[in-house]
Amino acid sequence: MKAYRGDFIAQMELGNTWSLEEALSGDYDGVYIADGHGALWDISTDPHIGKLLYRCLIDETPVAMVGHGVAALATLYKLRQQDMQGLRVTCFTDTEEALLKRHHEVPFSLKEQLTGFGADVNQAIIPFSPHMEVDGIFITGQNPASSAMTARALTGRLELAHAN
């Protein structure tokens, strides 16, 4: 924090970031939604995320999501239920929540919600193992151990798009 306070350029860059209301997928080559329990409360209900994901579908902009960040798909479901039918995804598992002793604190089971939306949720056999699913523009990673492989898959898509 001390370094940040002394870095005027960093303060200007972070102080001038766009809000989701200002962002359109056309402004990005790709979107990455990180893991974190907070996503179950805020990202899963933010209509701007839903609009961004819908715009990504239209523009064929790749979207990578990891762990709880996959909850962003709930906002897309509210706009386009048919896009969730049979969508192959992965997410932080109920077993992983239980092993962290957080299962009583989360507002819902992400796997149950996604399955209820019609998604095909696949998971690694061993908890906390890296696992990734790719379906269309969506790249989903199961947990923090999947972050690197998910990011590599996204950057691979971006490199391919820029090569063409």
Nearest to 91 by CA among 157, 20, 140: 140
Residue 61 has pLDDT above 80, yes or no: yes
Under a CB-based contact definition with an 8 Å cutoff, are residues 41 and 71 in contact? no
The pLDDT of residue 30:
94
Spatial contact of 97 and 37, defined as CB atoms under 8 Å apart = no
Over residues 33-59, mean pLDDT: 90
Beta-carbon contacts of residue 150 (< 8 Å; ≥ 6 apart): 64, 65, 66, 132, 139, 140, 141
**Mind listing the pLDDT tens digit for each residue in 83-134?**
999 999 999 999 999 999 988 888 899 999 999 999 999 999 999 999 999 9
Residue 2: pLDDT above 70?
no
Task: For each of the domains in the chain, give its residue range(s) and CATH number, in order of start.
Answer: 20-163 (3.40.50.880)
Confidence band for 13, pLDDT divided at 50, 70 and 90: confident
- Between residues 21 and 90, the one the model is more confident about: 90
State the pLDDT at residue 74: 96
What's residue 12's pLDDT?
79
Q: 14 pLDDT exceeds 80? A: no
> Considering the entire predicted model, what is its pTM?
0.88
DSSP string, the chain: -HHHHT-HHHHHHHHTPPPTTT--GGG-S-EEE---GGGGTTGGG-HHHHHHHHHHHHHT--EEEEGGGGGGHHHHHHH-GGGGTT-EE----HHHHHHTT-TTTSSS-HHHHHHHTT-EE---SSTT---EEEETTEEEESSGGGHHHHHHHHHHHHHHHHH-
- 73 pLDDT more than 80: yes
| Mean pLDDT, residues 27-50 taken together | 89
pLDDT at residue 1, rounded to an integer: 58
Rounded CA-CA distance 99/137 in Å is: 31
Strands 63-66 and 88-89, sheet pairing? unpaired
pLDDT band with cut points at 50, 70 and 90 for residue 146: very high
- The mean of the pLDDT values for the chain is 90
